[in-house]
Amino acid sequence: MEAVVLAGGLGTRLRSVVKDIPKCMAPIAGEPFLSYVLEWLGRYHISRVILSVGYLKDDVISWVSSRSFPFEVDYAVEEEPLGTGGAIKYALSKCRERKVVVVNGDTFFPLDLDAMPFDAPLTVALKPMKDFDRYGAVEVSQDGSITAFREKAPVSEGLINGGVYATNGLDLSPFPDKFSFEKDVLEPFCASGKVRGWITDRYFLDIGIPDDYALAQNQLPQYRAVKAFSAKILDADADTLLLDRDGTINVRIVGDYVRNPRQLEFLPGILEEMPLWAQKFRHIIVVTNQRGVGKGIMTDADLAEVHKYLLVCVQAAGGRIDAILTCTSVSDDDPRRKPNPGMYHEARMLFPDIKKAVMAGDSHYDRDFALNAGIPFILL
């Protein structure tokens, strides 16, 4: 499989925060956005990546030349803007394989390319989303064919084009050198039933506007950290995984507590990893201090609603949590409050078949909990 990355964007809407560089080179925590895209592609069996470049192409080529990747890199250089369709057509003409994944260079939608179907000339990866007006909604029939690409409008819940395309022998030779992929290919092909949709609820981020670019500064490094964290978890010699909650599964609210399901925000990429953990471990148990209940800031019922929502989301993503143990005490002397090992002993009582456990979390409380329980620790 080969990949085409559309890396020639001007970044017009980002000019207020990022100037004089291609959009794909916009710095994220000190690294170009493109580095996160290429790192994702490097996890799969991709032999070659074609970078479609144009605007300030030397910046892209110079950076790529200074790095090493697990695939060959080539370029499709636009001497003049060709439109999205022209850029894809030209890049595909340089590909050697029938199967090519085409990726927008200003969005990060790291779906599982091993699972993406290549059984049609053109398949569009679709992302479920709520409360959006920045993207046009996509409609899909029961057989998986895309039936409509709607204009941008406020939508409470729907599917959007995630900017990742699986192509298998897609022939764009009848089209001119300059054209729009969206208007001249997607919409007419859709009308004739030639475009498939593939729905996947992976992490998604588009850096096209300043607000989302600012969001990327925290979220993309977090996503990378979660991937490294998960790799260590999957390498652990254990049959049981103990997990912290705040800062490990969901975003920690500094100076406050997650008091209701609306405030529960999962760490970027964490839900993608949980199905892998479910396959590896016999038991997955959350052990969490929730002092907000003991302080009277929230109730046991509030906490139960948060955990009910958490379990629904994890299960919907294909993961599993077998038990959630909480300590709501305000006393550091409570034997169940981390770093004291009471919840570990409770877990062993609940699941007597535990042989080897590992603790994974983000704080020194989790580390010391593991130390006091006599089990290994993995730090996020």
The catalytic site residues sit at: 244, 246
* Cα–Cα distance for residue pair 187/209, rounded to 1 Å: 25
What residue type is assigned to position 81 of the chain? P
* Cα–Cα distance for residue pair 303/325, rounded to 1 Å: 12
**Rg, Å, the chain Cα set:** 23
Nearest to 252 by CA among 371, 369, 361, 129: 361
Residue 379 pairs in a beta bridge with 361
